[in-house]
Amino acid sequence: MSRALFIVDVQNDFTEGGALGVEGGAAVAEGITRFLREHPDRYDHVFASRDWHDGEGDNGGHFAVDAAPDFVNSWPRHCVSGTSGAEYHPGLDTGLIDVHVRKGQGIPAYSLFEGTTDDGGTVLEALGDREVTEVDVVGIATDYCVRASALDALAAGLDVRVLTDLVAGVAPESSEAALAEVRDAGARVATSAEVSG
């Protein structure tokens, strides 16, 4: 049995100045790096996801092309593969990541579980190969991809915690609702200080 950290979508387009920048995103990137450096033995494996959308087309309706985005199901262009917006935020030390996951390649995708690893496998396969039973979830955005990833981790039978000081959301109300939802579904909610203390 082993423990993993899920770092969800800590990318330039989701941090300040990006196409869908979230306030506090840069601080989350730097906070995750600091936390991992201060506690190098806390996790057996570190997974990190990135939106990696196709540059052409609407990615299954995910990109608003012919109308204004509704910011629920359709969005402005963001995290297009091969662009700087799709890259990890520079505050995140990618040398600490063991498994890289790309998601949303031509289709809408919110959860880390919807992506594929660099070797083309599924996240469930990667978790099984590493005998992961516990995961902590951090990243962006609390009310969308962090929420979806935590719920899918619970559905996969994992013991799940969301670290509230290492996430950033689109809006306070929807972020609080997302944390309440994952808590009600069986996840725990804690700070990084509480889990490392």
Number of domains forming the structure of the chain: 1
Residue 100: its H or E element: strand 99-103
Asked if the structure places residue 26 within a domain, the reply is yes
The CATH number of residue 131's host domain is: 3.40.50.850
Asked if the structure places residue 66 within a domain, the reply is no
Percent of the chain whose predicted confidence (pLDDT) is above 90: 80
**Domain membership of residue 145 as a residue range:** 2-50+88-196
Token representation of residue 54:
């196709």
- Distance of alpha carbon 11 from alpha carbon 38, whole angstroms: 22
CB 142 within 8 A of CB 22: no
CB 64 within 8 A of CB 19: no
Asked if the model's pLDDT at residue 137 lies above 80, the reply is yes
Asked if the structure places residue 77 within a domain, the reply is no
Asked if the structure places residue 14 within a domain, the reply is yes
Does the model's pTM come out above 0.75? yes
Roughly what angle, to the nearest 10 degrees, separates helices 147-155 and 172-185? 10
Amino acid at 9: D
Asked if the structure places residue 67 within a domain, the reply is no
Active-site annotation holder among 13, 51, 103, 152: 103
Active-site annotation holder among 51, 143, 145, 152: 145
The tens digit of pLDDT for each residue in 43-70 reads 999 999 999 987 787 777 677 787 787 7
* pLDDT in the model for residue 79: 87
- Distance of alpha carbon 129 from alpha carbon 126, whole angstroms: 5
Tell me what the mean pLDDT of segment 179-190 comes to.
98
Largest alpha-carbon pair distance within the chain? 51
- Number of neighbours of residue 38 by Cβ within 10 angstroms: 10
- Number of neighbours of residue 86 by Cβ within 10 angstroms: 22
Helices (H), 105-191: 123-129, 147-155, 172-185
Asked if the structure places residue 61 within a domain, the reply is no
Asked if the structure places residue 135 within a domain, the reply is yes
Active-site annotation holder among 9, 13, 136, 152: 9
- Distance of alpha carbon 151 from alpha carbon 172, whole angstroms: 19
Q: Is 143 a catalytic residue?
A: no
Token representation of residue 88:
């990890």
Q: Is 79 a catalytic residue?
A: no
Q: Is 44 a catalytic residue?
A: no
Asked if the structure places residue 168 within a domain, the reply is yes
